[in-house]
Amino acid sequence: MTQQVPLLINGELVSSRASEWIPVTNPATQEVLAQVPCATSEEVEQAIAAARNAFATWKETPVGERARLMLRYQALLKENHDEIATLLAQETGKTFEDAKGDVWRGIEVVEHACNIASLSMGETVENVARKIDCYSITQPLGVCVGITPFNFPAMIPLWMFPMAIACGNTFVLKPSEQDPLTPIRLAELFKEAGAPDGLLQIVHGTKDVVNQLLTHKDTPAISFVGSVAVGEHIYRTGTDHMKRVQAFAGAKNHMVVMPDAQKQQVINNIAGASVGAAGQRCMAISVAVFVGEAREWIPEVRDALAKVRPGAWNDPEAGYGPQINPQAKARILDFIRQGKEAGAECILDGSECVVEGYPDGNWVGPTMFRNVTTDMSIYTEEIFGPVLIALEVDTLDEAIELINNNPYGNGTSMFTASGAAARKYQHEIKVGQVGINVPVPVPLPMFSFTGWRKSFYGDQHAYGKQAVRFYTETKTVTARWFEDDIDTGVNTSINLR
Ligand code: NAD
């Protein structure tokens, strides 16, 4: 019988009583790896109740004890790094090295959560008025919810629950139904690290489960990562229900190539950042903007892309894996068709990609277009596949204007040898994460993941200090201790005295 993915409720991995199940498949072969349930509303209710009960004691747990749980957890994740990456590679199709990177970028956030004591320190001012001190403290919110996408089944859950739990909250995670095996393994290791029952629950499913979590009276904070359409729904519904919401959404990331940049660095970095992970990264470079004479490098960029070969997760020569499912592949092929029909020049076409030994895989080969206009769907939409658009402009000012007119603002990069050009770019560009001669500028966890505009709805971002602000409430105490019982009179004004 195919494996059934369990739910995690109150420390127990339990079988769901769901009537609806979704197959989890290996995208290189279509082999069904497991069946994932769409949890019943009772099960979702049980998960929230378990998290609510656990919160009562966890919020009183000393900060050092919370940090030590994270220390044990990061050690276990490192010990099991290869095993988690193997599981992740099978259900996502990522190459083993890239799967290891997915896990590693999550481990780094757990390491960051070990610093929770210093991260949650408040502020104090003595003598805000005579003999009156003022100080702030941070307190957890309660049951926090995470809803995560398919493309980083280790890193993105690990952006969320370790920081939330280190802050003293408890958590309900609804991972992507397309690759739920990795999150369950992460949860098993969390339990093994000594996490008390009820700290972390996992419920599976799609829209109905999400909506129940999103509108429940006992879930004050919602973290979401996924597409723009769903992100907008999550943000609107969550805030309508008076919740704190952070919703990380889609992207269209541009790399600006200046003619003074190092050519071979440009070529290598565009190739890796555009088709790596089959283009299924929210920080993938999907548009390269060649400035002035840099346009002459387009044929060489094309040749570099053409050499990257997709393949199965355990093929050490593969540059990237398959798309997550046949629908995602069909959607990308449709965009390629639309681009050609709209008159863009397809200078590398991966539509007919075949990978020997894997006839059923969701393969799309590296694809590149030039002569694209900004009204074409291949430019306006997030394709989320190994498709690079080359645009050409005459000046840096034109490149900046073009990018600032694009509604997304997740990531961008610029390749140049000029400090002045780079400084101008970082200052004027309306994108939240900027790489200078770095193609995929995902910040490390001492900073925060700071998408802008249509790529992020909310205020406080993931990890870094902002995660502590998101997952806690600040309380400010104004305190006086009387030394004598002296009559200083009745004070009817707002002033302290
Ligand atoms: P998705 O929006 O389809 O799914 C994300 C989550 O929402 C999943 O858990 C899914 O089950 C749930 N969901 C799907 N439809 C829903 C609905 N109608 N109502 C409620 N919940 C629903 O995204 P995906 O395809 O899994 O992931 C790819 C997308 O995620 C891309 O757009 C990518 O750019 C984006 N992404 C963004 C970031 C970021 O940090 N900005 C990071 C990773 C991925």
pLDDT tens digits for 259-316?
Answer: 999 999 999 999 999 999 999 999 999 999 999 999 999 999 999 999 999 999 999 9
Could you tell me the maximum CA-CA distance found in the chain, to the nearest angstrom? 91
152 Cα nearest atom in ligand 1: 43
Cα distance between residue 4 and residue 154, in whole Å: 20
177 Cα nearest atom in ligand 1: 11
Residue listed under structure tokens 């859950």: 157
417, pLDDT greater than 80:
yes
Ligand 1 contact, 392 CB (< 6 A):
no
Question: Please, where are the H alpha helices in 342-488?
Answer: 377-380, 396-405, 419-428, 464-470
SS3 content of the chain, % helix, strand, coil (to 5): 40, 25, 40
Ligand 1 contact, 225 CB (< 6 A):
yes
Question: Kind of pairing, strands 387-393 and 367-370?
Answer: parallel
Do residues 160 and 148 touch, judged by C-beta distance below 8 A?
A: yes
What pLDDT, on the 0 to 100 scale, is given for residue 310? 98
CA–centroid distance, 188 to ligand 1, in Å, is 24
Cα distance between residue 417 and residue 430, in whole Å: 22
Cα distance between residue 442 and residue 218, in whole Å: 32
How confident is residue 2, by pLDDT bands cut at 50, 70 and 90? confident
Ligand 1 contact, 250 CB (< 6 A):
yes
Ligand 1 contact, 249 CB (< 6 A):
yes
Closest CA to 369 of 339, 327, 407: 339
What pLDDT, on the 0 to 100 scale, is given for residue 327? 98
How confident is residue 34, by pLDDT bands cut at 50, 70 and 90? very high
251 Cα nearest atom in ligand 1: 34
Beta strands in 86-140 (DSSP E): 124-129, 132-140
How confident is residue 65, by pLDDT bands cut at 50, 70 and 90? very high
Closest CA to 400 of 430, 438, 440: 430
Q: One of 114, 144, 282, 346 is an active-site residue; which one?
A: 282
Task: Write down the mean pLDDT value for the chain.
Answer: 97
| pLDDT tens string 219-271 | 999 999 999 999 999 999 999 999 999 999 999 999 999 999 999 999 999 99
Strand partners, 387: 367
Ligand 1 contact, 73 CB (< 6 A):
no
Do residues 297 and 257 touch, judged by C-beta distance below 8 A?
A: yes
Distance between the two ends of the chain, CA-based, in angstroms? Answer: 75
Global model pTM greater than 0.85: yes
Do residues 284 and 385 touch, judged by C-beta distance below 8 A?
A: no
How confident is residue 497, by pLDDT bands cut at 50, 70 and 90? confident
- Give me the mean pLDDT over the 97-121 stretch: 97
What pLDDT, on the 0 to 100 scale, is given for residue 494? 87
1, pLDDT greater than 90:
no
CA–centroid distance, 231 to ligand 1, in Å, is 7
Is 282 catalytic? The answer is yes
